[in-house]
Amino acid sequence: MPITKAAKKAVRQNKRRKKRNVKKKEQLHDVLKDFRELASQGKMVEAKKMLPQIYKSLDKLAKTGIIKKNTAARRKSRAARMVEKGQN
């Protein structure tokens, strides 16, 4: 249990931040899931249109430290590769 006033405030801040971060991660998960569904169904035109949205989400999460920079880069690379594989 936090004892000092500052520690109590830090606990409150952490709860708010965690809620916000989890929500953003879930939104990213939903976008990636929709993208994978389109790619698996062979709808590469629609999947390719989703790439900028995926890139934007990943870059924002990496910038704010919710996910790491290399994780964002890896996921962007895999998404792009998925689209390229499907078009060949």
Q: Count CB neighbours of 43 within 10 A.
A: 14
CATH number of the domain where residue 18 is located: 1.20.58.110
What is the value of pTM for the model shown?
0.83
Nearest to 51 by CA among 87, 20, 26: 87
pLDDT at 87 over 90: no
The confidence band for 49, taking pLDDT boundaries of 50, 70 and 90, is very high
Domain with 67, as residue range(s), is 5-87
Q: How far apart are the first and last CA of the chain?
A: 58
Cβ–Cβ < 8 Å for 72, 32:
no
pLDDT of residue 84: 87
Cβ–Cβ < 8 Å for 57, 27:
yes
Count of structural domains, the chain: 1
pLDDT at 33 over 70: yes
pLDDT of residue 1: 87
Across the chain, mean pLDDT equals 93
pLDDT at 35 over 60: yes
